[in-house]
Amino acid sequence: MTKNAVESILVPIDFSAYSEAALLFAVNCAEKMGASITVLHVVHDLGESPGYYSVKGRKKQLKRMEDVAGDMLEDFIKNIREKNPDMEALHKLKTVLVKGLPVRRILEIAEKTKSQMIIMGSQGRTGLSHIMLGSKAEQVVRLSPIPVTIVKQPKKAK
């Protein structure tokens, strides 16, 4: 590996259109650089108690948040692969699902996977909501020891 080569890209996702745009951007970068991609979803830890989601279409059935998030991750990747069958890197990517605080876990997984770059989507909020809540993307940019690329808007359908 040359000194500035990018061999591994981490793409944190939240299943939004912004995440899809970030993943497609990362795939284009990876294909040009010969890099691998790790797609990460962080199930937000709401304390020590396990969380449950109600499953649509099934009366009164509850599933652990991690199980539902795992299914959502598989469906998200499958959908993007179906829409972009010619993007080779989409078929080689690795997925990781973890629980915790998103910013902290993104940085930990970037280090663990030896990623040289993080590419993530952001709505680009401004104003009071941004000041009060802060942006996870902004926090990752500030705290990350590796380059972070923010994809702000999904590509418009033609």
Give me the average pLDDT of each 10-residue run along the chain (158 residues).
73 94 96 95 69 51 76 96 94 95 96 97 62 72 95 66
Q: Taking the domain 8-151, which CATH number applies?
A: 3.40.50.620
Alpha-carbon separation of residue 30 from 2, 49, 155 (angstroms): 16, 38, 18
The confidence score (pLDDT) of residue 119 equals 97
Q: Quote the pLDDT of residue 47.
A: 59
On whether the CB atoms of residues 100 and 82 are closer than 8 A, the answer is: no
pTM check: above 0.85? no
Q: CB neighbours (10 Å) of residue 91?
A: 11
Give pLDDT, residue 49.
45
Measured CA distances, 29 to 36, 59, 88, 102 (Å): 10, 43, 12, 24
Kindly report the number of other CB atoms within 10 A of residue 18's CB atom: 21
Does residue 40 contact residue 96 with C-beta atoms inside 8 Å? yes
